[in-house]
Amino acid sequence: MPKTIIITESTENGVDKKLLSELIKCKISDSFLKSVKFISSGSGSISDVRKELRTGLREAEFINGNVKNLLIIVDADENPKNRFEELKNNLLENSNKNFNFPDELNILDKKDSEKINVGIFLFPDCENKGSFETLCLRALKHDKKEKKFKCIKSYFGCLQDNKIDINEKTEDNKSKSKFRVFMATPNPDRYVDSVIDYIDLKSDVFNGVVDFIRKVDE
């Protein structure tokens, strides 16, 4: 079966990879997940993803034609348009492969059946600033969620009042900071598994990325 490769800003056992796997199982199917291979980005940074697109993707399965689709699913951060262009340009530098390059976000380019189809999705929704954590905050399930958010707000407010470690935060950093503080208790050593425990995988906030992944079979 032709494979689909998904590249994320995730370490081998990181949250993005784990949560996307669980979303595919929940909203698509186990059988679909079996046709997917995740490529982790080393340290889990966008710079590693860009390096992979420029110089990686050299597995024999690419050369032998076993891969049909390449999905790049990463954070938009502060400028979705710029992030899209830099990812496309990084992939263009990889001259060993033939790709169908998408002209816009959230599509899977299939114009040439002899080439590998490429699609790019930027969290949260291919339009706005933010990250995967932006969606996760909206899909949290916790019986005392609002009370916990109130405590988190007080924590950041205290740092602000005392001028401790507070810079002009980006939208991406705001989401990540808030989400990670929320998940820091009660089981900090089970961060990845705890994320799965406290995220509503059926939430509509994930429909955008799930619909994007489904384009593989359209």
Handedness of CA 90, 108, 106, 63 (dihedral sign): negative
Residue among 192, 64, 42 at smallest CA distance from 116: 64
Shared-domain flag, residues 14 and 76: yes
Contacts of 37 (CB under 8 A, 6+ apart): 3, 4, 5, 6
Can you read off the two tokens belonging to residue 218? 């359209």
Structure token digits, residue 89: 């340009």
Q: Are residues 173 and 193 in the same domain?
A: yes
Print the domain residue range for 171. 132-198
Say yes or no: 111 and 147 in one domain. Answer: no
Phi-psi region of 95 (alpha: psi -120 to 50; beta: other; left: phi over 0): alpha
Instruction: Characterize the bridge pairing of strands 108-109 and 67-75.
Output: unpaired
- 75 with 159, same domain? no
Domain check: are 145 and 163 in the same one?
yes
Structural domains in the chain (count): 2
The predicted structure's pLDDT at residue 44: 80
**DSSP labels for 57-126?**
---HHHHTT-EEEEEEEEE-BT-HHHHHHHHHHHHHT-TTS-EE--SSTT-EE-S-TTSEEEEEEEETTS
Check which CATH number belongs to the domain holding 55 and give it. Answer: 3.40.1360
pTM score: 0.91
Same domain? 48 vs 118? yes
* Largest Cα–Cα separation, the chain: 60
Residues 146 and 53 in one domain: no
What pLDDT, on the 0 to 100 scale, is given for residue 61? 64
pLDDT in tens, 151-160: 999 998 898 8
Whether residue 137 sits in one domain with residue 123: no
List the chain residues with pLDDT less than 70: 1-2, 58-63, 96, 166-169, 171
| 173 shares a domain with 209 | no
